[in-house]
Amino acid sequence: MNIIARYYLIGLRILNALLFIWIITLFLSLFDFSAVLTTADNELVIVDVILSIKNVVSYALFFLLYLIAYGIAFIIAGLFAPLPFFDMNFMFSFIQLFFKNFLSLWFSFPGGTTPELFDIPLLILEEFLLFTEDFYLLIFQILFIIAIIYLVRGILSSDPKNNMRAIGCLVLMIVIPLIIFGFRDMLALFGLVEPFNSLGIINLSELTNPLSPLFDDIPIDNFFAFLISPVALFAITSYLYLEFAFQINYIDTVTRPSLERSDRLEAQLNLLRKEAVHITANIDKIKEEAKKKKEELGLQKESVGKFLSQKDKKFSYVKEMIERKKLESEEKKLVQAASKTRRLGRYIDRLFREDIEAEDTLTARSSTPRTRNLAVSTITNSAFRLVILILISFVIIHPEWFFVNVFQLPPAITESVATMSPEIIIILLLPIILLFPVIGKLISYIKHRSLVLRLKQEGKIKEIMASVGDYVKKEQEPPAEEIEEEISIGEVTTEAT
Asked whether residue 23 is domain-assigned, the answer is no
Instruction: Verify that 197 and 322 share a domain, yes or no.
Output: no
Instruction: Verify that 65 and 197 share a domain, yes or no.
Output: yes
Asked whether residue 244 is domain-assigned, the answer is no
Burial of residue 320 (number of CB atoms within 10 Å: 0-12, 13-18, 19+) = middle
CA distance 12 to 158: 11
Asked whether residue 153 is domain-assigned, the answer is yes
Asked whether residue 414 is domain-assigned, the answer is no
Confidence of residue 358 (pLDDT cuts 50, 70, 90): low
Instruction: Verify that 314 and 179 share a domain, yes or no.
Output: no
pLDDT in tens, 238-249: 888 988 888 888
Q: What are the Cα distances from residue 424, in Å, to 220, 228, 397, 433? A: 16, 25, 11, 14
Instruction: Verify that 66 and 187 share a domain, yes or no.
Output: yes
Instruction: Verify that 348 and 455 share a domain, yes or no.
Output: no
Nearest Cα to 390, choosing from 231, 249, 245, 247?
231
The residue with greater pLDDT, 61 or 463, is: 61
Asked whether residue 399 is domain-assigned, the answer is no
Q: Of 129-133, 164-168, 258-262, which range is least confident?
A: 258-262
pLDDT in tens, 289-325: 656 665 655 544 454 445 445 545 545 555 666 666 6
pTM score, two decimals?
Answer: 0.63
Side chain identity at residue 306, one-letter code: K
C-alpha 258, offset from chain centre: 23
Instruction: Verify that 51 and 168 share a domain, yes or no.
Output: yes
CB 407 within 8 A of CB 37: no
Is it the case that residue 331 has pLDDT exceeding 70? no
The residue with greater pLDDT, 398 or 1, is: 398
User: Which of these three, 345, 367, 389, is where a domain ends?
Assistant: 367
The residue with greater pLDDT, 301 or 452, is: 452
- Please give the tally of structural domains in the chain: 3
Q: Give, for 110, the enclosing helix (H) or strand (E).
A: none
Instruction: Verify that 481 and 348 share a domain, yes or no.
Output: no
Instruction: Verify that 58 and 163 share a domain, yes or no.
Output: yes
Nearest Cα to 271, choosing from 348, 360, 171, 180?
348
Q: Which domain holds residue 465?
A: 429-497
Q: Of 332-336, 370-374, 465-469, which range is least confident?
A: 465-469
State the first-to-last Cα distance of the chain, in angstroms, to the nearest integer: 82
CA distance 193 to 210: 20
Instruction: Mention every residue, 6+ apart, whose C-beta is less than 8 A from residue 198.
Output: none
Instruction: Verify that 49 and 156 share a domain, yes or no.
Output: yes
Mean pLDDT across the chain: 74
Instruction: Verify that 464 and 332 share a domain, yes or no.
Output: no
Asked whether residue 316 is domain-assigned, the answer is yes
C-alpha 64, offset from chain centre: 47
Instruction: Verify that 341 and 490 share a domain, yes or no.
Output: no
Instruction: Verify that 277 and 350 share a domain, yes or no.
Output: yes
Asked whether residue 419 is domain-assigned, the answer is no
Q: Of 31-35, 234-238, 472-476, which range is least confident?
A: 472-476
Asked whether residue 178 is domain-assigned, the answer is yes
